[in-house]
Structure 1
Amino acid sequence: MADKCDLCLLGLIVLSSLLTGTSGVTDPHVFISSGENVRLPCNNALSNCESTTWIYNRFRHSAAVELIGLGIKKKDTERHERLSLGSDCSLNIKNVTEDDYGFYTCRQFVNDKQQGTDARVFLPVLHVSVSPSSSSQTEISPGCPVTLSCQLYSRLSCDYLVRTEGLQLLWVNQAGVDLKTDSRYKILFSSYHCNISLTTTLLNEDDNREWRCQLTLRNQLKTSVRYTVKYSGLC
């Protein structure tokens, strides 16, 4: 373990989410935080899942990847170990990452002919990163500077979501008070990256303190990320 401040964080990131859609878009949206498990509904399923195929696209017109073919999970995808098909033909994804955001299409085939129309779901993912950080283990203690960066990965532009859906990204404390009201925290929001960062220098009393990044649309909570300070080592 390095003894420099580029390895001076140890935090417990706990992810929680509410699975609901937006009101102003055509395709259903399921908001989730990275690290969570998610269920994507198939709203055109037939009597059994042997006719069900699930297809993934990062963007609407990007290259398609078949994840489930006629009820059978494909083994040659990098998501293979994290995918499963529900009894209702829903697609289950374990331990969601920011790379999982995109379009998921449920399509039905009988005798090689498509039945009905596609049922599409879009998965936006909220992800938090911490700096300074390392790929394995980090240390944190009083006097260490810390920056928490909370970003929404979505096919819709953040400006659009702010204007039409009232999107808000907020860092709040355990009582739900917006941290931008406290001068010890520097809060910066970028609508271009759909990112809100929190920067502060840690105090003795911050051990076990919780900060939470919240995503709301039209004043309704969609998903949140919780960061709990755990002191260990030196800066």
Structure 2
Amino acid sequence: MNSYANYIETIIEHEPENKLLEASALYSQSFSTIPEMTYYKTLERMCKKGILVHLTKGLYYRPKNTRFGTVPISEKDIVDHYIKDNQGIVVGYRLFNQKGLTTQISKRVEVLSSAVPGKKKNIHNIYVMNISISLTPETIPIIETLEILQNYKSIEDINNTALAAYMKDFARHYADEATVYVLKNRKYKKSTIAFLESFLNYFKVENTLNQFLSSLSSYAIPDIEEFYESVL
């Protein structure tokens, strides 16, 4: 028992400080020959001794200790864990603000990531949702744009002039094959797809988005010609 605990502590103490540690992944990677109960009991004792900090179910980190005291893991450290190596992207108000579409910013950070086990994970003010799409230079702008259009009506203080410029640039670089791939692998509202199609049609950009829409349905979206007239 003590030898197991000593081994676990030794390995974990070599992990970088303020790096997010997923207990189940770490167990599979380094401790699979040790009884699982012993492993988790050791993590619990390490937390009591201050060697580890338990963030939320299944997540830990080794705190950074300085002469001024303990430096807790930062929001950036946590977000970076889920978006590094093209594993995820930040969406929500952080995205809307970064694109210049609103001056509003939320304390809540929303992340889409393939690195999160299960469907979602809440870590303090960070909300991580699973995404199974391969994130590439082609798919990332499409997902960002769909997230923007899906939330258009609820974005506070939205700058329609900035959105008009953003969508004009998006249309200029539009990739239909990548968009179809995204829409087949991530669910978006029909009205969101129709909204995107309307922008593309306005700029006379060929697309095949009608395959996701019904010709018998009308969608509650802004009139794009009126939208651009209003911002000119």
Is TM more than 0.5 here? no
Taking structure 2 as the reference length, what is the TM-score of the superposition? Answer: 0.24
Q: Which has the higher helix share?
A: 2
- Give 1 or 2 for the bigger CA radius of gyration: 2
Which one scores higher on RCO, CA 8 angstroms, separation ≥ 6? Answer: 1
